[in-house]
Structure 1
Amino acid sequence: MSTQKFTAYEREALWLAHNKKCAYTREPLDMSSFHIDHILPESLVSNLTELEKVKSLLKLGAKFDIHGYENLLPCRSGANLQKGSIVFDEARTQFFLGIAESKKAEVLKNLEKISKRNIRGKALILLQQCLEGGQLSPSEVASILDEHKEKPDEIFHLIESLKFLNTEEIRSISKVDIDELLSRQVQLGQNNHIDGATLINDMNETLYVRTCKEYNEAINSGYYALTNFDIKMSTFFEHQCGLLNAIKAAKVPECSFIDDPRVGVVDLQLLPFSLFPFLGDVPDEDDTTVTYQSKVDDGTINIKRIKQNMVCVEDKEGMGQQLIEVLRADFNGDGLEEILLFEYCYATHGTFGAGGIRILSRNTFDGSFELTQ
């Protein structure tokens, strides 16, 4: 019997994040009666030695929480009771922990939405009471509603944070902040001893850039990264400049084929394999039904890492690719929600590495992703 208690908000958030289905059987769930299962059983909390042993076996980090969303799945009552306090075998446990981890951010996002929805509902009831009691006039109520209405087109919430030198990570960006962010010094990953990248032009003149504004101006003036090292360093600028430039033109989508049910970069069956980079000649393969999943199935590529908003794959020819989902919005003005990715491509047996942004669209509920940038 589980000792962890869940609020109605948490139950709804978890249920929605998993598309209202049992994680084990994929059957539809009734929100009023579904169970919440601990993948690693709660009983491990009272046996710390065994818990640490299991965490070590499964390579779970120190922050892993038995009671956290990374260990919780919605399921049918029968599926939960049959499992009881049994720990799955290692492969199955890793699989279901991966599912839970991939949905954690969405659960938290749902919690925020549900909380705002309920706060908004209470506020509307209070305004209605003030209107009926004569404390506020209809025009005053209308003014309050207009002043406090949400303006989602002005703020964009990032799935993957931006990092600038000597500042906190940025997780939300307002359009009015973009110019200031373009002038901040870019954090080049873990390279704390490096504060910029060297670019060169065809006249052999060099520029050292530290901010996105400097990088944009240099690229527009014909400068580029030449050495493998500077190409790698320029990837950080390509990512951050590309994101900020995309947000300038971004809008709140009018329609989405990727939100409900939520699909993303980890849904390999929807990713066209034409997105994968090649060091040599590009294969003559026009079949749009060829996906990352089909190439995993036939052994062409291997999954090296996968989590809630990231996938990393490598092929047998020596090429690797990492795709990180960063932001969802309408980037091209067609009214549809798209996904902006940070891409990094690298040679598995060499020093080459380069990256930029990619934007994926989906035009129907049963369609695959299409590359728009």
Structure 2
Amino acid sequence: MSSFHIDHIIPESLASNITELKKVKSLLKLDEKFDIYGYENLLPCRSGANLQKGATVFDEARTQFFLGIADNRKAEVLKNLEKISKRNIRGKALVLLQQCLEGGQLSPSEVANILDEHKEQPDEIFHLIESLKFFDSAEIRTVSKADIDELLGRQVRLGQNDHIVGVTLTKDKNETLHVKTCKEYHEAIESGYYALTNFDIKMSSFFEHQYGLLSSLKAATVPERSFIDDPRSGVVDIELIPFSLFPWIGDAPEIEDTSATYQSKVDDGTISIKRIKQNMLCVEEHEGMGQQLIEVARADFNGDGLEEILLFEYCYATHGTLGYGGIRILGRNTVEGLFEIIQ
């Protein structure tokens, strides 16, 4: 949106010329409540058009046309501003509570009681390990179930590709549809559209990740028990990840040793670790496939009462252009067991 300006339909310079402003209001039949600085007098426009317009007052017909658009959108703008304000307040409150908890000013039970007193219950709020990124440069690390529908309607940011907006999906008979939000993407996929080219398949990974996360959080609950929290186990514990999670081109080969893990396959040279950090693992098969796993959220995602890990997965050919992504969910049923693939 950096290429757009917000312009006053009736130039704001008239605010300093009361006589002329009254004439314009009278001509346009605007009542005294009309605010020249209000949203009823604002519309987005291209920067060039705004600079050319300057202090020009359009003719009556065009001015009425643009004022009509602004007036129709005012309620929606105010509603969205209220949502943003509430989300910012919630985010600041959660950060403050977390700081008080970590600093010892509040106990876990006191934090729980504070959350209980508010509209959104503790099991309605999820903290993300990896932030959600949107096209307007916003990054979200705390997701409330009450905000998920709104987040599904926001424009997805495609990684570092700031110059790319949305992805093009294809249907039979070369019918195409360009989508920018998770909601649009999901509706298109449900209607039979799909990513056709390698480029579109790669870009659709961002939608698969974001929609997969938000839809999973919508159904998620706070776990009653965890075998991955204490001691904390995660994606970097490759001795716990079953090798059956690794992607293959074509049909996956039959794995003779069902107890094989990423660690055992690193040890025998089948795969190698390319990158690893606190919540991310990237491994590659020699002359084959690569896989990146990023831990994003923890919750009970399947209703079994146990804590699971939701991952962003991206798979790619190490010597080619193939690349695709989605979400994976890993669980653990015993303190000594391997991760199990839930999704």
Report the TM-score range of the alignment, normalised by the length of the smaller protein. 0.5 to 0.7
3-state SS, counterpart of residue 135 of structure 2 = coil
State how 1:36-55 maps to structure 2 within 5 Å.
Answer: none
Q: Which amino acid aligns with 1:115?
A: E
Residue in structure 2 matching 1:337, options 297, 300, 307? 307
Residue 277 (structure 1) aligned with residue 255 (structure 2): no
3-state SS, counterpart of residue 324 of structure 2 = strand
Residue 200 (structure 1) aligned with residue 200 (structure 2): no
1:56-108 CA distance string (max 9 Å, x none): xxxxxxxxxxxxxxxxxxxxxxxxxxxxxxxxxxxxxxxxxxxxxxxxxxxx9
Residues 186 and 119 (structure 1), Cα distance of their counterparts in 2 relative to 1, 3 Å cut: same
Residue in structure 2 matching 1:170, options 140, 144, 149? 140
Equivalent residue, structure 2, for 1:265:
235
Residue 225 (structure 1) aligned with residue 212 (structure 2): no
For residue 203 of structure 1, report the CA deviation from its aligned partner: 3.2
CA contact (8 A) 2:274 2:282 kept: yes
Q: Which amino acid aligns with 2:238?
A: L
Task: List alignment gaps of at least 5 residues for structure 1.
Answer: 1-107, 125-142
CA contact (8 A) 2:115 2:121 kept: no
In structure 2, distance between residues paired with 1:145 and 1:368:
34
Task: List alignment gaps of at least 5 residues for structure 2.
Answer: 1-94
Equivalent residue, structure 2, for 1:115:
102
3-state SS, counterpart of residue 284 of structure 2 = strand
For residue 283 of structure 1, report the CA deviation from its aligned partner: 1.5
Rg: which structure is higher?
2
Q: Which amino acid aligns with 1:251?
A: T
Residue 328 (structure 1) aligned with residue 298 (structure 2): yes
Equivalent residue, structure 1, for 2:129:
159
For residue 302 of structure 1, report the CA deviation from its aligned partner: 0.6
Superposed CA RMSD in Å reads 2.6
For residue 149 of structure 1, report the CA deviation from its aligned partner: 10
In structure 2, distance between residues paired with 1:226 and 1:121:
49
Equivalent residue, structure 2, for 1:362:
332
In structure 2, distance between residues paired with 1:122 and 1:233:
43
Equivalent residue, structure 1, for 2:257:
287
State how 1:1-373 maps to structure 2 within 5 Å.
Answer: 112=99, 114-115=101-102, 118-120=105-107, 147=117, 151-373=121-343
In structure 2, distance between residues paired with 1:270 and 1:112:
32
Question: After TM superposition, which residue ranges in structure 1, 4 or more long, deviate above 6 angstroms?
Answer: 121-124
Residues 226 and 123 (structure 1), Cα distance of their counterparts in 2 relative to 1, 3 Å cut: closer
**Identity, % of aligned positions:** 72
Q: Which amino acid aligns with 2:106?
A: I
3-state SS, counterpart of residue 233 of structure 1 = helix
For residue 279 of structure 1, report the CA deviation from its aligned partner: 1.2
Aligned residues: 248
3-state SS, counterpart of residue 272 of structure 2 = strand
CA contact (8 A) 2:168 2:195 kept: yes
Q: Which amino acid aligns with 1:119?
A: L
In structure 2, distance between residues paired with 1:151 and 1:213:
25
Scaled by the length of structure 2, the TM-score of the pair is 0.68
3-state SS, counterpart of residue 294 of structure 1 = helix
Residues 123 and 328 (structure 1), Cα distance of their counterparts in 2 relative to 1, 3 Å cut: closer
Q: Which amino acid aligns with 2:202?
A: K
Residues 261 and 120 (structure 1), Cα distance of their counterparts in 2 relative to 1, 3 Å cut: closer
3-state SS, counterpart of residue 314 of structure 1 = strand
In structure 1, distance between residues paired with 2:252 and 2:116:
54
Equivalent residue, structure 1, for 2:91:
none
Higher mean alpha-carbon deviation, 149-158 vs 261-270, is at: 149-158
In structure 2, distance between residues paired with 1:367 and 1:180:
38
1:319-347 CA distance string (max 9 Å, x none): 10000000000001110000000000001
Higher mean alpha-carbon deviation, 231-240 vs 111-120, is at: 111-120
